Each structure stands twice: as C-alpha cells, then as structure tokens.
C-alpha cells in the first residue's frame, strides 16, 4: 500500500508528497579536466587529427579510439561518461545540437576559468596564471564556513596554482597540489607509496601525473570522508600544448577510468551511496578552426571559450545528452554546486544562476535548496 502511494505521488508529481521531493545530495565532488574539448567529449577522436603523424606517435590510439561513428567513438574514448553519466545523468555542451556552454570571462585560459567557476562571476582583473591568491572568495570557502562543512572540504590538483585560486590555505581548507605529499598524520600504505614515488615518476613536462592527484584524493576520501571535494586534473591540457593528440586522448580516457573507479566506490559506501553528486567540467576549450588550432587556447583562438558540463547524482533527472537549444556559462557552476547541498550561495558580485535542469523540478520549488543555511 505504501509503495503504491509513493508511486502514485511520483506519477502525479504534485507538490503534496514530501517523500518524493526530499533533496538527497549530502556530498558534492567537482572534477575538472583541464582544456579538454567538447568536440572529443561528444564526438570522440577527431578524424582530422588522429591520422596526423606529427600529433600521433602511438598508433595504438587508432585501434583503441577510432570508429567511423561519432557515437561509437565517444563511447570508446569516454566509456564512463557515456555508459554511466549518459544513462543516469546529464551532459551539456554539444553545440551540434545547439546546447552551448561557454566561459563568460574573455580570456579563455586556466586561472580566469577556474576563478569564474569557483567564484561564480567574472573578475576582469584576473588575467594571468601567476601563483597569486585570488582576491575573491570562492564557493568552496563559502561552504567551508558553514558549520557542518568546516573541515569537510578538500582540494586535490595536479596544477600547483589551484590552491591559490580557491584560497585554500588562507581558509584552512586541506589542499594537495603539485609536488605536495599526502595530507594527514596517519597515512595509508598507498599514500606512503605515492609519497615515495612522486619525486621519481614525473610526466614529460616535469610534473606529477594525474594518477597521483587521483590516488591522493581517493585515499583522503576513504580516510577523512569529506563532504565536498574539488579534484582538478591537468594532463589533457599539457598534451594539447605539447601537440601530442595521442597522449591527449589517452589522458582523457585514463581520467574517465579514474572517475569511474571513484563513482563505483562512492556507490558502495553507506555515507556516499545515492547521496553524492558529481559535477564534471573544464576550465576552457581549445581552438578548432585550423588543423593546428587544437593545440592552443586563449582570447585570440576561436573556440577556446567553448566548454561542457557533466553531472550525475540522486537529485538530477536522467536526461543524458542535453538536446535542447540553450546557453549556459561557466560562472553557473558555483551556485549550482552549493544548491545541491541546499546552500544558497552568494558573493560580493552577482553570481551565475543555478542550472535548474540539473535538479528534479520538485526540488526547485523547495525553499530548502535555495535557503536552507541562510
């Protein structure tokens, strides 16, 4: 009888049933793949690049990632994004369908992008990638200031400027970036191994691999059970600038696998299962006009402001690839991430609006999603 009642009110979708409209998200994890294009996310390996011998030294990527069908290609490249998020979540930014996501900032490189994403607005004064503390507060510190989240927010990144962009140190948010070792006094075997290997195993650009960032984050998650995390990967951008399309594809694929591993674990844990929303995005796009344009990005390179979002979690309707004509902006991430936790985020400047389609409609009329902690 109870089941039938619940079903009835789910079907009716009316505002009368409290059971059907409870917000489920208690944890949010924001993940970024630096400079990873929407073109590869939605159509897989690019036919004009994967056969270029200047860009592809490792021919195995042809076998791994090529197919004449763009839908098959994207599934080969990003199987978690398409088999899991595509089936249970949402993907925004396929411009072929008129679904557009852009940076609102006019610079189209990393610091301005991450700052826009995390503060929720554009500060035109932010126009360098220098390791300087952001003059603006971010959504992470806003959440961290809420009593129940203090000490429950953490940041892991390959790029060592990320902690400055989110002002982690100044606000006591645990952060691990660049060459830093694991956070904590009692480390797991895995963390001790990572600490030992990190100085030895560097990528071709002298930086740590994204896998270190991932496993440091994963071990911290298992041990400290944070409620909000920002995990920022960097290899896709590095290989883009390096002109190695094979490595760019492999990095995206590895990242997809790491996110899959993370999601499987989250869905196996009592305190995270069906209570965690993943919000995945990028800091900027890359060029696409000429054959070499994909290597770079910036205000003089058309296409660099084009980006994408992916989201999966208990409060997000299953819509898969978004096919509606619409325009979204990077600055909407901050307020949307907070809204998943029922936190109404604001800053000294007006911030980008909540992306309403990421929430089941019943939740949008629920004042708790906007104002719970005010």
CB of 98 or CB of 204, closer to Zn ion: 204
- In angstroms, the CA 30 to CA 232 distance is 8
Q: Nearest approach, Cβ of 134 to Zn ion (angstroms)?
A: 18
- Alpha helices, DSSP H only, in the chain? 2-12, 18-21, 38-43, 47-50, 60-65, 70-77, 79, 86-88, 110-119, 139-145, 162-165, 189-197, 210-224, 235-241, 245-266, 333-340, 361-364, 367-371
Q: Nearest approach, Cβ of 239 to Zn ion (angstroms)?
A: 10
Residues that bind Zn ion (CB under 5 A): 35, 237
Residue of 91, 85, 138, 128 lying closest to 331 (CA atoms): 138
CB of 35 or CB of 89, closer to Zn ion: 35
- In angstroms, the CA 32 to CA 310 distance is 10
CB of 34 or CB of 191, closer to Zn ion: 34
Give the chain's radius of gyration (CA, Å).
Answer: 20
Instruction: Provide the pairing of β-strand 99-102 with 27-33.
Output: unpaired
Q: Nearest approach, Cβ of 217 to Zn ion (angstroms)?
A: 22
HSE value, Cβ hemisphere, 13 Å, CA-based, for 285: 32
Q: Nearest approach, Cβ of 39 to Zn ion (angstroms)?
A: 16
Q: Nearest approach, Cβ of 109 to Zn ion (angstroms)?
A: 6
CB of 281 or CB of 316, closer to Zn ion: 281
Q: Which residue is nearest to Zn ion (CB)?
A: 237
CB of 80 or CB of 111, closer to Zn ion: 111
């Amino acid at each position: 009888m109870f089941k039938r009642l619940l079903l009835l009110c789910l079907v009716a979708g009316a505002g009368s049933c409290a059971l059907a409209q409870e917000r489920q998200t208690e944890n949010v994890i924001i993940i970024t793949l630096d400079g990873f294009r929407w073109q590869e996310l939605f159509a897989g390996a690019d036919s004009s690049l994967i056969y270029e011998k200047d860009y592809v030294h490792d021919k195995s990527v042809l076998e791994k990632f090529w197919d004449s069908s763009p839908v098959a290609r994207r599934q080969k490249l990003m199987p978690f994004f398409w088999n899991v998020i595509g089936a249970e979540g949402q993907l925004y930014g396929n411009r072929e369908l008129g679904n557009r996501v852009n940076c609102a900032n006019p610079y189209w490189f990393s610091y301005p992008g991450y700052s826009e994403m995390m503060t929720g607005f554009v500060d035109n004064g932010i126009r360098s990638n220098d390791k300087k503390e952001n003059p603006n507060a971010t959504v992470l510190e806003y959440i961290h200031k809420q009593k129940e989240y203090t000490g429950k927010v953490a940041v892991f990144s390959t790029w060592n400027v990320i902690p400055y962009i989110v002002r982690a140190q100044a606000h006591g948010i645990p952060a691990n970036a660049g060459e830093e070792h694991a956070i904590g006094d009692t480390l797991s075997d895995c963390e001790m191994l990572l600490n030992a290997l990190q100085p030895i195993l560097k990528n071709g650009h002298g930086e740590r691999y994204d896998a270190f960032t991932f496993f440091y984050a994963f071990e911290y998650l298992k041990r400290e059970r944070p409620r909000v995390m920002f995990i920022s990967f960097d290899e896709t951008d590095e290989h883009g600038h390096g002109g190695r399309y094979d490595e760019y594809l492999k990095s995206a694929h590895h990242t997809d696998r790491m996110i899959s591993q993370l999601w499987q674990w989250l869905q196996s844990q009592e305190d995270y299962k069906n209570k965690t929303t993943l919000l995945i995005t990028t800091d900027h796009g890359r060029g696409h006009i000429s054959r070499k344009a994909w290597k770079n990005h910036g205000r003089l390179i058309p296409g660099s402001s084009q980006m994408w979002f992916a989201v999966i979690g208990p409060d997000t309707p299953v819509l898969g690839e978004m096919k509606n004509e619409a325009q979204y902006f990077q600055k909407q991430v901050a307020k949307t991430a907070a809204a998943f936790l029922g936190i109404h985020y604001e800053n000294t400047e007006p911030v980008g609006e909540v992306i309403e389609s990421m929430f089941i409609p019943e939740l949008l009329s629920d004042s708790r999603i906007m104002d719970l902690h005010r």
